[in-house]
Structure 1
Amino acid sequence: MTPSSDLPPWLISGVADIVLTSSPTPTGVLNLELRHVMVNQALGKLYGVDPRTATGSTPVQLLGHLGGQIEQRCRAVVGTGRAELGHVVTGVPSTAPEGEVHWQVDCLPVSHENGPPGALLLVVTDITARTRAMRSLNEQRRSLAYQASHDPVTGLANRFQLLEVLQYHLSGQSFPNVLMVDLDGFKEVNDVHGHAAGDQVLATIADRLRNSVRTEDLVARYGGDEFVLVIRPNVDARAFAERLVDLIAEPIPWAGKQLSVGASIGVAEAGPGDSVSGLLHRADEAMYEVKADRKGT
């Protein structure tokens, strides 16, 4: 094979033109004013324009804001003489406004004998499908993670997340207050008005509990009609529990009726040497003592 340096310039130019034009990769050549001097069929299709009419136009003129992102990368090549590779541009092309696209842009200087760039080679890869697939996969992962750690009826943390949070606190020598909340009269609501009414009661109580704590505190559905609150240690937990009893007792509208439940709340203060199970057991015992006394805390 004859070395390329021995080929006549017209042949090199012709071969290069054929390669660029027939390449399945969206490719174009820009002058230093960032105007297209060559757009192959693949790039024209990606742009949504006839390649012949694209000659002489800038990316901005063809694509709007998306083209501006492409020009930003190419302008950097003109200034530095170094290639700009792997940049992702995102937007809605003015030539195809039906949806957002994601393109990977490579812009390379075309120089003669290591001189300054005389033109720019533009290669654009459509990564829209890949990006959307990754987004969908990430959304599915987030959804699965949420489902694994949250109660579907109330949206609160579930028992699994509660145990993790308590273990985190105790392992870090952080000793929160734990409140075990058991609803009084909830079974009657279910028996008389049905499970849909019961779910509404649970969701309403969950909202009230969630809105009563700070963002760093945790409210979890422990199971059935039981909730657990993990709150900061510098709070008078028993006084707080009394306020929660009044809050929970407020009527709940349902199908033209007013439903109501009470609450028994046990408080346990975490301390050195506590285990998660031991701490929850103490809160549970305290709650049953309150229930037995019928004081509702």
Structure 2
Amino acid sequence: MTKPMRSENFSPSHNEVDKFCKEIIIEKVYDGGSDILEDYVIKEDKIEFYLNGKKFLSVMSIAQYQDAHIVGFLLSEAVITTYDDIKSIKIDEDGLKVRVNATVSKEGFANLFKEKTLTSGCCIGVTGNAEKIFDCSFINTDYTVKAQDILKYMKDFNSPSALFDNTGCVHKAELVLEDGTIYIAEDIGRHNAIDKVVGRAFLDKKDIKRSILYASGRLSMEMVVKCVMHKIPIVVSKAAVTFQGIRSANEHGVTLIGFARNSKMNVYTHSGRIS
């Protein structure tokens, strides 16, 4: 049998690629012929989340930053609110179970087991807070950012990673804090990626109320929900926004920016934060 050729952008030297991807053999068909190639696909796993000894969620995700993932999710659902709520976090040796012991909000905890809303993410998720967004407070801050700085960070954000180069199958989220600290996470689901960057900042005891969230996907209402829950004032994407995303951002004080590409961007709500 003929040895397969390497697919375009095949770069096995990256540790991330080795850990989170699977090497496969594909048949590349094109006009006029075909080739047998070595290629990579992303390796997702079912990660089980446990809270105070009870499993409450299983999520398909990349097994990276699992502790930050569960913390970011619990914050998004208003189950925990401060770092001191967390008593312990443990990731099982296989990386597929995350166990948190915490002091929880009774209302937030009960809401985890009520009717959920399917999100519009490419990797379908659930949230119990999509309807509760309209009960949240208005984000009122004097935090401002220069337009050129937003576009500069967007250019850096769009730089492809080893995982994306080899699979084309990950969303990316980046949290840029006022002090210059940057948190980055990738996942098959855009919601997962956001939960991970928020969780990473939270575990480092960082205040994210003066920060910018960069997301690789469209900005729908549930993406704005996460920003409101975390009091993140500015969210940016190179992709489109939805009407409900604009509506919720406008009502709750989020600066919503879409189509941020090269030297241009569309500011849909609360443009006063952009200087």
TM-score by length of 1: 0.19
Which structure has the higher relative contact order (CA within 8 Å, separation 6+)?
Answer: 2
Indicate the structure with greater helix content.
1
TM-score by length of 2: 0.20
Indicate the structure with greater strand content.
2
Which structure: larger Rg?
Answer: 1
